[in-house]
Chain A
């Protein structure tokens, strides 16, 4: 099974280097989608990239969802069987990739969600936000994912085809869960470790309210 790792990147010059250093050990294709970074992220990528690294560049910042879509589209158009999405801020451990690869090789599920141990090291606001999102998704789409906001996740080609999202921003995580629930796609969860480097980045409370509004829209439109 050919599996690519897709990394949406936006202004992470500090953390992309150690992540790419770790990923060099792997033989998988790595697709980095620079989503209009204005810092030196792209220089860091060019310095650290290996032979199997592909760099796509959005000239303007479109958002995480759009960057993920560009990476996945490129991968599947080039004959890949599955993709694993990782955040570019080095939150996720490359050692956890083996759990995703094993779950994909099993061929039982089309979508694999990473699940952080939310009882340890997660900021309180994010913990509450996650739990709230889980309950809302269960009520609205009859699907329970223990860590719905985790960006570490994998899709087979079939899974991606059925869940291809519209969200261009942070709503992508919740929208994919809504689509998995609505289309009754087989999914599983694998435990992952997360290190929080930067408490001010990522999903903010404002984003969370926006996403909540979008949930209603997805309920009506998906």
Chain B
């Protein structure tokens, strides 16, 4: 992997650690959630520094380069997170709409 790209990825990971701690301090995340995020980003930093750790995975999935495996993994992760957030937002929107409409009819 190109060293510059590794530096950018590490800086990004540290930023995300900072946001996780900040969210915890603002009481938007609880202790368990913050620890989970810290673990995820710490693991990401380890993998970024030592990409060869993923070599066996890359071989198993018939991916030639470790970098490609990380890109594919990243895509899968992002798409699944977007889908999950979309569904949750939709569910909350529906609940809010039902509540507000019910209140409007009840108050009449």
Contacts and interface: CB of A to CB of B under 8 A. Distances in A.
A185 interface: no
A33 B100 CA distance: 12
Nearest to A31: B108
B103 A66 contact: no
A54 B96 CA distance: 23
Contacts of A73: 101, 105
B3 interface: no
Interface residues of B, number: 10
Nearest to B104: A56
Contacts of A101: none
A69 interface: yes
Nearest to B107: A57
B92 to A, nearest CB: 12
B96 A70 contact: no
B101 A69 contact: yes
B33 interface: no
Contacts of A54: 108
B97 interface: yes
Contact of B105 (A59, A70, A168): A70
A24 interface: no
23 contacts: A33-B104, A57-B104, A57-B107, A58-B100, A58-B101, A59-B100, A59-B104, A60-B96, A60-B100, A62-B96, A62-B101, A66-B97, A66-B100, A66-B101, A69-B101, A70-B104, A70-B105, A73-B105, A74-B105, A74-B108, A77-B105, A168-B93, A168-B97
Chain A residues touching B, range:
10 to 19
Nearest to B108: A56
A116 to B, nearest CB: 29
Interface in B75-93: 93
Interface string A68-106: 011001100100000000000000000000000000000
B88 to A, nearest CB: 17
A56 B93 CA distance: 20
